[in-house]
Amino acid sequence: MEVFITDKAFLSLILSSVEVYRDEVLGVLLGYELVDGDLVVEYAIPYQTAKRSKREVEPIRHREIRVLNILDRLTNFHHLGYFHSHTEFRGERGVAELSKSDKESLDEGMIELIIAINDAKRKFSWRCSDTDIYGSIDKYHIHIACFKKESKGKIIRVPISCPYILGLSEIYEL
């Protein structure tokens, strides 16, 4: 299984994380599943009214339910999961890993994109590792990882790719 992030979703992930930097962002992922089981994230929509702090973020449940209830009426895309950021705070860098509470709140069958955003000590172009994507833009270092909770609660790290950013890195100096 692999998760592909479109240009629209990537822009939303980055801009929403940068906008509230030092606080965490939270949002919903919309897309579809391919025949081979891979997922395509078409949209990443941040929650405007999430309860944010430096170390956690959570939805306002009744507002989240309101949004999720109308998805089927607005689009043919499926709710694939969520995204949220982990930010640098008091000298401790944000990491692209699930915290204990992240693991507990992850629903079976859903994915979770973690965007670690930190002050960039140096600039470097965007890259894909075996599982994650990372790079710097402006004064931020960003590292994105994906996790999925399978049956019986097993959590796996899912490889992600974003062809958009890899092409963009070659054209522009980010």
Query: What are the chain's domains?
Result: 3-171 (3.40.140.10)
What's this model's pTM, rounded to 2 decimal places? 0.90
pLDDT digits (tens, 9 = 90+) for 47-94: 877 666 666 666 667 677 787 788 878 888 999 999 999 998 888 899
At residue 98, what is the residue type?
A: L
> Rounded distance, CA 152 to CA 150, Å?
6
Give the count of beta carbons closer than 10 Å to the beta carbon of residue 130.
6
At residue 2, what is the residue type?
A: E
Per-chain mean pLDDT for the chain? 88
pLDDT digits (tens, 9 = 90+) for 101-133: 899 989 999 999 999 999 998 888 888 889 999
Buried b vs exposed e over 90-124: b needs ≥16 C-beta within 10 Å? eeeebebebeeebeebbeeeebbbbbbbbeeeeee
